[in-house]
Amino acid sequence: MSPLVARLGGRIALSKEDKAALLALPHSVRTVQPGDYVIREGDIAHSCHVLLSGFTHRHRMSAYGTRHILGIHGEGDLLNLPTLPPLPAEDFVQALTVVQVAAVPIEDVLALSRARPAIGNALWTEMSAEVSVFRAWISNMGRRDARGRIAHLFCELVMRSYPAGGSDGCTVTLPLSQAELADATGMTTVHVNRTLKILEQEGFIRRQRRRIMIPDWRRLKELGDFRASAWTGRRDRDEDVAQAD
C-alpha cells in the first residue's frame, strides 16, 4: 500500500501513525494483464481499488461501439470512489500495462478517514485533484489543436512518472498505442501518426519506439497549456513565470 501512502502524503502532511494506519489497511492484491479489465461498467464494487503499479485507462463505450478514453491512471491512484452504499461503475477501467491492484474494503477506508482526520482530508484533496484532472481532459478535447492535445497528454504522463515534476531530458515509456491515443484525443489514428511526426520534427519530443524523451519540458507544457498543480498540489514555478509574462 506504499504507493497510496506516498500519494496521500504528497497531498496532506501525514504523521507516522497515519502512514502506519494506511499500510495496515486490510487488502488483497491481484495482477491484471494488458487489455484485461480492472472494473467494468455496471460493476458494484464493495472495495476501493488502488493502483499499485502500471497504467490503466478509463473509457466509455457508445451505443455504436465506439470507445472514448476519459483518463489515464498511474501508481497510487484510486480507481473508484469509496461510497456507501456502493454505486454501479459508470465506465470501464482497463489495464494498459501489467498492473497490480489492491482492493480495500470500503468500510475500512471510510472508518479510517473518520478516525484520522488528516487521512480524511488527504482523501478529499486527492478526489478534488482528480476532478481537476478530468476538467483538464474536457478542455483538452474541446479547445486545443492536435499538437496541443497530444502535448497535454504527454505532460500528464510525465507527471505520473515523475511526481515531483518534469525536467529537460526526462523520458517516459508511452503506455498507449496510436489507436488508444486517437481514442483519448478525439482524432483518427492517421492524424495521431501525422501529429507525432510533426511534434518530433519541431523538436518537442524525440522518439525511439514507445520511448518518449522531452528535450524542453517548459516548451512542451506551453504547447499543451499544461498546468501541473493538479498533480503536485502546488503551482509550478514555470506557471508563475508564465503568469508574470
State the pLDDT at residue 243: 43
- Between 189 and 163, the higher pLDDT residue: 189
Q: Is 31 helix (H, G, I), strand (E, B) or coil?
A: strand
**What pTM was computed for the model?**
0.87
State the pLDDT at residue 84: 82
Q: Is 55 helix (H, G, I), strand (E, B) or coil?
A: coil
Name residue 171's beta-bridge partners.
213
Tens of pLDDT, residue by residue over 224-233, are 999 887 666 5
Q: Which of 71, 179, 82 is nearest to 122 (CA)?
A: 82
Report long-range pairs for 205-208 (Cβ below 8 Å, ≥24 apart): 205/154
Tens of pLDDT, residue by residue over 122-144, are 999 988 888 888 888 888 887 78
Query: Cα angle at 180 between 198 and 190, to 5 degrees?
Result: 40
> With contact defined as beta carbons under 8 Å apart, do 1 and 102 qualify?
yes
Tens of pLDDT, residue by residue over 75-102, are 999 999 888 888 899 999 999 999 999 9
Q: Is 57 helix (H, G, I), strand (E, B) or coil?
A: strand
State the pLDDT at residue 242: 44
Tens of pLDDT, residue by residue over 31-55, are 999 999 999 999 998 999 999 999 9
